[in-house]
Structure 1
C-alpha cells in the first residue's frame, strides 16, 4: 500500500506537482459546506465532500496517476460507505446518508444513478455497484480521515423540508438531492481548478442595490417625459410592482395586458424584492430564444454587458462533441464560461429548457449551477408557454424553491392560468402583484376582434394586399412561406420565422419598425410564425391570426395598436386550410378557442380557455409521472428514486435542435476559418446571430445532400447556400422544414 495518497498531479515543462488526497477532500468539503449552508446545514455538505473521493485511496487509482490507461471506479467507494452508515442510523438521519450515496456515486460520468436500473443494465445501478464494491481496496481512507460522521439528523425534517403531503415530500427529497449534488460538483471542480495555485476568473459584480439604481436611472431617462394614456398605465403598473416588492418571499403573479411594460416592471419588482429580502440574484426565464434576443439587449443596455449572463443555445452536434471554452486563455472567455457553469452572477437570462432541465437532470454538466438557484428571485416570463406534458412537476418544483430554498417566483403573462384552481400547484399562497387587472385590461383594450371562420390561403392573401400596413401570424413555417410568396408581388412585404438566422430577423424587424413610424408611414405587409407574438415590441394597425389558443390570440392582439395611436386596431381571426392547421397541440387549443367565444380578448375568455385546456389534459400534465415516482420512492426502503430515468427522459422539447452556422457574409466566413484553425471562445458568441437551430431530421437531410460540413470538427456549417434564402431562411429547395410550432427554446 502507498504511504502517501494523491488526488491528482500536474506536469508542466518537466516539473511535476501533486495534490494530496487529504488536501483535496478537505478543501472540497469546505467548499461544499459553504455552498450547502444557503439551503441546509454545513455538516451535510462537509460530509459529502470528505466522502466523495475516498475511492482514490486504492492502489489502482494511485498507479493511474502515472498510467491513465488503468481504469478505476473511485466514486462507488464513498457511496458504499454512506450506505453502510445509513444502515445503523435512525430516520431521518438514514435518509440523509442514503441520499449522499446517490450523490457520491453520481459525481462523475453520467451522473446520479437509479437505485435499480429499469433498463436491464444492472451493472450501473446503485444497488449493484454498492454490493460489488470491495471495501478492502480503499480501506486506507481510515488512516487519514475521521471514522465518525455527524448525525445529520436535522438536515431532513418537517421543519427543514416544508411539505404538506407525501407527494411533496417525495419531490422535496428528489430536489434536495439535486441541490446537494450541485454543491459537490461545484466544490469538486473549484478545487480542481485551483489545486496548484491557479486563480479563478473574477466573480466580482455590482451588488443588487447598484443594479436597482441603474434600473431606476434607466426608467427616469426613458419614461419620465413620455405622455399618453398607455404610458400612464405602464407607469401605474411599475408602481404596483415596486409597492408589492416589500411583501415576504413567495409565489407572485404578474398579470399585465400585452403592451403593459411587463419586462421592465417585473425587473423593478425583482430587484427591489431581492434587496428587501437579501437575495443573491435574479433569474429571468423565457420560453423562446426570439424573446431573449430582445430582452437581453435591453438588460445589457441598462446594467452593462458584463453584468448579464445570457445563457441558452450551445453549438452541440448529435455526436455530443464539445469544445471547451476554458481552453481559450482570454479572461473574458474564462469569466463567461465560469458564469455559464455556475450562474454566480447578479442577473441571468435563460430559457425554460435550461432552467427546468437543470433541476431535473442528474448529469454533472447540468448540475453545477443548481445550488446557486437558491436565494434567488425567479421570473417566469410567458408562463402560459410551459409545455402541458411537464406542467405539474415544473409548478411543484417552483413551489419547492419557494418553500425550502428561500426563492420568490414571479409568474408573468398577459394570459394568467389559474394554476391553483386547476390543481397544478400544491397548497401554497399566490399573491397577485396587480390588484386591478380587469380594470387595466379594460383601459388598455385597444383592439376589436373579428372572426372570419374558414379562409383559404388565396382569400387571406387577397385581404393582406388590401392593407397598407398589416401583420399576419400563422401556426406553421410552411404556411408563412407560402403566404409570403402569394403577396410578394405587391412589394414592401416581409417574412419572419425561426428558419431565418437572428441577424437577418433583426434586420427585417428593424426595417419593419422603421416603416411603421408615424413620420415614415411606408407600406409594410408582414407574414410571420408565432415568434413575433411573444414579447416582440411592434405596432400594426391591423393583425390577422390563424386560429390557435386564446393565449396566442391575445398575444397577437398585443402587436396591434400597441401604443394606442388609433381609437381601435383590428384583429381578424381565421381558420386556415387543414394542411396549415399545425400539429395536434395547436388543433386542440384551436378547438377549445372555437368552443368559447368569438370575443377572445377578455379575462373571462382566458379563464374559460385554460380551465378547459387543463381539464382535457389533466391526466397528461405529468408525462413522466415524476410526482408519483418520487412519492413512491420516499416511502420505500433504500429510497429508490429513478434519478437516471427522469434525467434521460425529461425534455421540454422532444427535439431541441442543433445549430447550423450560415456563412452569409465575409464577416461570418472569416470567423469560420478561424474556427477551422482551432479558435473558439469569443468567436462562437460572435457567430450566434448567424446560426439556426434545426431538428435532427433536417440536419440529416442537409448532410445527405452534402450541404453541411464540420468546422473545427465540432460545428455544423451550411456549405450550399441554395438551401438558405434571406427572405424565408433555411429551406429544402424552397420548402421549409416541418419543425413548425415549437420554437427552439434551448
Structure 2
C-alpha cells in the first residue's frame, strides 16, 4: 500500500475506493427507475464503466510529489499542485475501446467531469487547448507520480495506466467529430449525463473526505397517512362552515388518484393545497416503494424564502401529531440562508447532532426524506455549469412544485423540457400545485383535481392609470375611511420600495393612524423585522393598514378585507388576491387595481416588470368592465398565460436548450432565476438592531480574524459560512443604480463584506418602521 494521501487524514487508496463505493451504490439503486438509454443515451453497463473510471481516476494527480508537498503545507506552484487534469488524461485512455467511438460525447463528458470536478465546467472544445497550454506542467506532474500507487491502480483496473498525452489528442478529435455528428439526435441526453455524473462525483468526493467510512445510508420510514391523522386531530372531519366542506372535498379528490407520473393540483389560495400535495406525495412514495422497491425522496419546492418557514412549520406539525421527531434526516429545509445544523436519530431514540462541516454537506445534498427548498436551489441544480451535490437526487424523486407560475416566462420552455425528460425516462414523479399553472407545465400533466371548487370571496376592479397625487387624495383616502368606519383591514401593495414608503408616510401624516394600526413592509427592512411585522398583523383584529411591496404575494398566510394593488403581472395580482378574505371569514372582500404613474416623468411604476408581460396584463384588465368576481379573474388568468406563450418570450429558453444540446457551459451559466438589473449594484447592509445582531457580528469578526488551520480547513470554512448566515436576518440588500441623475447613498464603509451600521449609528441610517433610510425612487424589492 502506498502512503500518499488524498486529504490530511485520508490515504488516497482509501479515498478512491470510498468514492467508487458511494457512486456505485447510488447507480445500483437507479436500475429500479431510470431508463438508461433514453435518459442518458447509454446502457447500464456503459454507465457502470463510466462510474468506475471516474471514481478511480478523479484524484490520480494527487499521487504526485507536488501535491503531497502542497498537502503537507509546503509552498508549491499552483500549476504543479493541480491534480484533476492528470486523471482526465488517464480516464480518456481507459475508456477508449470500452465505450464505442460513436458515443464519443460520452467519453468527453466523463473527461470533463474529472477535469473540472473542483470548479466550473468548460465547453468540450477546451479539452485539447487546456492540455496544450499546460503540457510542460502536466509532464512534470506525471513524472513524479508515486509508483506504489500506480501499481495499486493498475491492479485495480487490470491494465496499464496510460498517461501519454500526445496519443490521446487524435482520439479526442475523433470523439468530438462523432459528438458533433450525433448531438442533435442525442438532444439533452449528454447534458443530463454530465450533470448526473458531475453531481454524483462531487457528492461522493465530499462525503468520503468528510465521513471516511462512517457515512450513514439508512433511510427512514414515514407513514403515508400522517396528514390524515393530522387533519382528524385538527377537527377537519367535523366541518363547521361551507369552506370547511369545500376543503374536505378538495382534499379527498386531490389524493384519490396515484396513477400519475406528472400530476397537477389546481386550487384557489386557501383551499388547502399544502396538506393535499404532501399527503398525495407520501401516498405515492409508499406505492412506489411497494411496486418498485426503492424509496423516493420528496422535494417540496417553493418560489420564495418567505414561505419556506411557513411550510416547514406546517409539515413539522403534521409529523409531531404522529409522534415523529422531525430530525433532519426526516425533514429539512435547504436554501442559502439555512442554519448549518443537521440531526439524526440513532439507536435508542437519541438524537445525534453533526458538526457544522458535516451538516453543510448533508444539507446541500438533500440528505432527508422530505426536503423543503427553493426554486433557485432546484432549478440552478438543473441548469448550471457549477458543481453541485443535488442533480443526481432528482431521478427517482417526487418533486412538488408549488406556484410554478412564479418562474419567469422566458424559462418556462427550457424548464418544462428538462422536467419532462426527468419524468419520462428518469423515474421522477412531479406534482404541480397552484391556483394557476402556465400551459407549458399544465398540458403535460394529469389533472388530479377536475371538479370546480367554487370560491367567490371578493370582487376585482381595474381603475386604470392615475397619478400618485390623484391616487392618494381620492382612492386611498376613500379606502382608508371605509376601513376605519367598518373596522376592516386594508392592504396597499406598491411596486417600489420608495413608493411604498411614500404612501405609508402620507397615511401617517394625513390620517394620524397609530403605530399599532399601520404597518410598512418591504425588503428595506431586515428579514427579522419583517417576520415580526407579519406576526403582529396576524394577531390583530379589526381596523389596520398594511402598506407593502410585492413580497407579500408569496403565499404569506394573512387575510385582509380590502386590497389595492399597483399594476403588476396578472399572476402576481392573483397572488395578492389570495390575501383577500382568505378563509371566507368576511362577508366579501374587494381588490382594486390601479396603474400608478409618476407625475414628473409620466412613467408607470410597473416599469420594473417585463414590458410584454405588463402589456398582456393591461390588455386583459382593460376588458373587465365595472368589476368581476373571483371565478372570472381566474378564468382571465388562464387566458393571460395563453397570451404569454404566444408573445415570443421563449427565445431565452430556446437558446438555453440549444446550449444544453451543445454542452455550451458558457451560455448555460447565463441562466438565473434572480433577475439582474443592468446599471445596478447590490450592497449588503448589516444593521445592528438588537443584542442578537451585535452578538452575531462579533462572532463573525472573530471567525474572520482566525488563521485558517491547515489540518481543518473545511471545518473552518463551514464555521465561516454559518457565521455569515447568522447575519442574514439583519441584512438589507440595497440595490443602487448608477446612471446620470441617480441619487447616491451615504452608507458606512464596507467592513468584512458588509456596510456595517453599528447600534450607535443606527438612527442615522435606519427607521424602525420603514427600514433603511433612502429617498431613491429606483429602489425596489
Q: Deviations over 1:12-71 (max 9, x none)?
A: xxxxx6x44333222211111112334364443222101212223334334444454223
1:379 corresponds to 2:400 = yes
Any idea what SS the aligned residue of 1:653 has? coil
In 2, distance between residues paired with 1:291 and 1:591?
29
Q: Which residue pairs with 1:14 in the alignment?
A: none
Please give the alpha-carbon distance, in whole angstroms, between the structure 2 residues aligned to 1:178 and 1:131. Answer: 31
Which whole-Å deviations, capped at 9, do the CAs of 1:674-732 have from their partners, x for residues lacking one?
Answer: 3333376876665543333444769xx9997352553xx46664334232222122232
Where does residue 613 of structure 1 map in the other structure?
A: 644
Which of 346, 350, 363 aligns to 2:386? It is 363
Query: What is the Cα deviation at residue 138 of structure 1?
Result: 4.7
- Does structure 1 residue 394 correspond to structure 2 residue 415? yes
Structure 1 residues 687-696 or 376-385, which shifts more? 687-696
Aligned to 1:7: 5
Change (3 A) 1:715 1:706: closer
Distance change (3 Å), C-alpha of 1:311 and 1:647? same
**CA distance in structure 2 between the partners assigned to 1:513 and 1:30 by the alignment:** 51
Unaligned runs of 5+ in 1: 11-16, 151-164, 316-322, 634-640, 742-746
What CA distance in whole angstroms lies between the structure 2 residues aligned with 1:226 and 1:708? 58
Q: Deviations over 1:220-240 (max 9, x none)?
A: 222334421112212222212
Matched residue, 2:746: 705
Superposed, which structure 2 residues align to 1:647-666 within 5 Å? Answer: 647=669, 650=672, 652-654=674-676, 659-666=684-691
Task: Give unpaired runs (5+ residues) of structure 2.
Answer: 31-35, 37-43, 161-181, 290-294, 320-324, 343-351, 484-488, 704-718
Hey, what's the Cα distance between the residues in 2 that align with 1:273 and 1:391?
26
Query: For structure 1, which segment, 330-339 or 44-53, has the greater mean C-alpha deviation from structure 2 after superposition?
Result: 330-339
Q: Identify the residue that residue 536 of structure 1 maps to in structure 2.
A: 556
- Name the count of aligned residue pairs: 665
C-alpha displacement of 1:524 = 0.6
Task: Answer yes or no: is 1:338 the counterpart of 2:336.
Answer: no
Shift of 1:86: 5.0
Secondary structure (helix, strand or coil) at the match of 2:360 reads helix
C-alpha distance 332-8 of structure 1, shift in aligned 2 (>3 A): closer
1:90 is matched with which residue: 86, 97, 100?
100
Aligned partner of 2:229 among 217, 225, 244: 217
Instruction: Assess if the C-alpha contact under 8 Å between 1:452 and 1:572 holds in 2.
Output: yes
Deviation at 1:334, TM superposition (A): 5.0
- Alignment equivalent of 1:264, drawn from 245, 264, 275: 275
Q: Does 1:313 align with 2:336?
A: yes
Choose from 621, 625, 630 the match for 2:660: 630
Q: Give the Cα–Cα distance (whole angstroms) in 2 for the partners of residues 332 and 226 of structure 1.
A: 46
Picking from 6, 12, 24, the partner of 1:21 is 12
1:252 aligns with 2:267: no
Asked if 1 retains the 8 angstrom alpha-carbon contact of 2:341 and 2:354, the reply is no
CA distance in 2, matches of 1:506, 1:584: 25
Q: Secondary structure at the match of 2:463?
A: strand
Question: Which deviations, in whole Å up to 9, do the C-alpha atoms of 1:245-299 show, x marking residues without a partner?
Answer: x214x22212111221222221111121122213431112211112223222323
Residues 302, 403 of structure 2: 8 Å contact kept = yes
Matched ranges for 1:229-248 at <5 A: 229-244=242-257, 246-248=258-260
**Cα distance in 1 for residues equivalent to 2:131 and 2:419:** 28
Distance apart, 1:324 and its partner CA: 9.3
Per the alignment, residue 533 of structure 2 pairs with: 508
Q: Distance in 2 between matches of 1:369 and 1:142?
A: 32
Which residue is 2:371 aligned to?
A: 348
- CA distance in 2 between partners of 1:583 and 1:559 (Å): 24
Alignment of 1:272-671 (within 5 A): 272-278=283-289, 279-303=295-319, 306=327, 307-314=330-337, 331=354, 333-334=356-357, 336-364=359-387, 367-419=388-440, 429-436=444-451, 439-440=452-453, 443-457=454-468, 458=472, 459-468=474-483, 469-489=489-509, 490=511, 491=513, 492-516=517-541, 521=542, 523-578=543-598, 579-583=603-607, 585-596=609-620, 597-598=623-624, 599=628, 601-622=632-653, 625-631=655-661, 633=662, 641-647=663-669, 650=672, 652-654=674-676, 659-671=684-696
8 A Cα contact 2:408 2:673, kept in partner: no
- Secondary structure of 2:499's partner? helix
Return the alpha-carbon distance in structure 1 between the equivalents of residues 779 and 231 of structure 2. 39
Pairs within 5 Å for 1:59-138: 59-66=65-72, 68-70=74-76, 71-88=80-97, 89-91=99-101, 93-108=103-118, 110-117=119-126, 125=130, 133-134=138-139, 138=145
**CA RMSD of superposed structures (Å):** 3.5
